[in-house]
Amino acid sequence: MKLDPTIKKQMKSLTEAEGLELVATEFVGAGQSAILRLVVDGPDGVNLDQCAAISRQASAMLDVDEPMAHGYTLEVSSPGLDRRLYSEADYDRFVGRNIEIRMAPSYRTHRKVNGELQGLQEGTVQVREETGTIVGLPYSEIFEARLEIDWESVMKKGKCGR
């Protein structure tokens, strides 16, 4: 199920007013167990207080607009360390990062590709594999792409040690 464009626009305005970006809206499940997920991010990431503020405001807006005839759960979250790439712009935004791409079942050349993202050019996602080979993957055939977690960087930022 897709979110009504007017409501999506309201959610986008709400997140922007909080200094955040609405990365994605997702409906997961069906009936009473449906989840409306708002994925938000900011220049320095997003914290629990920001998610809670968005959740409160979005809940109030959705109570008025009632986007679904039955109950659902509203979930506001960050994209996470292994964030999914949702838009074409993400393939340029995360150039140089390691990613894992799973291709659609109809695509027979590759099932899964891991490597350094080189960008999106003319509908083709370029990935440099560990061997140095650059693989071109049709954007339209990508089922899911996620950033791989750079644990070394995470440990340095968090000042975690062994």
Query: Which CATH number do you get for residue 132?
Result: 2.30.30.100
- In this structure, what CATH number is given to the domain that contains residue 21? 3.30.300.70
> What is the side-by-side strand order in the sheet with 124-128?
134-138, 124-128, 112-121, 98-103, 142-147
Please check whether residue 83 lies inside any domain of the structure: no
Number of domains in the chain: 2
Domain around 133: 90-149
> pLDDT, tens digit, for every residue of 29-85?
777 778 888 999 988 889 999 999 999 999 988 887 666 667 788 899 998 888 999
> Which of 48, 77, 106 represents a domain boundary (last residue)?
77
pLDDT confidence tier of residue 161, bands split at 50, 70 and 90: very low
Tell me the pTM.
Answer: 0.75
Phi, psi of 46, deg, nearest 5:
-140, 145
